[in-house]
Amino acid sequence: SRSLDGSAATAFFSTSPNYQWAFIIGVPDAVLGASLRRSVLEAGAIAILLLLLAGTAAVLVGRRIAVPARRLQRAAEALKAGSPVSYRAAGVAEFDVVGATLADAGTRLLEADQAAQRREQEREALMWRMQSQLARMDLLHQITRAIGDRLDLASLFQIVCNSIERELQV
């Protein structure tokens, strides 16, 4: 409706519970709108403030999680490369358990690799000794066959000396 001065107004009707009187209150729309705008602005400002606080908290929590995740990534890359794995505790229990497990696995892999290298060296040394023994036995066999084909002592000595010179580089 319109107020007595001609400005737009909104009217509210109510009755008194004690005296049963009826009354009407008229509020100019400009006052009502200003109050509403102020309330909306206050609520918007509070919402923006809360949003900024939530964003800041999310960034801080994200960084707290990202640092241990990067440490785990570096530990996993070291394990993949066969390098020693070191993991420094980050304060997040789940990440620390996985990091310690990766470090333990890296240590065990390095120990297993070193043991395999030792066994390979031992195997190569054994193969060399066996090949050397086989060569000596083959030389002995050749000398024995040559001796069996000869009957005189001079030709026997000649065969033995030639075989020794040829096979043992003496």
Q: What tens digit of pLDDT does each residue of 62-118 get?
A: 888 888 888 888 888 888 888 888 778 877 788 888 888 888 888 888 889 899 999
Contacts of 102 (CB under 8 A, 6+ apart): 72, 75, 76, 79, 85, 87
pLDDT of residue 170: 67
CA dist 58 and 21 (Å) reads 56
Taking residues 13-22, report their average pLDDT: 86
Taking residues 138-150, report their average pLDDT: 77
pLDDT of residue 151: 66
Enter the tokens of residue 10: 């909104």
The dihedrals phi and psi of 86, each to the nearest 5 degrees, come to: -125, 135
Contacts of 67 (CB under 8 A, 6+ apart): 90
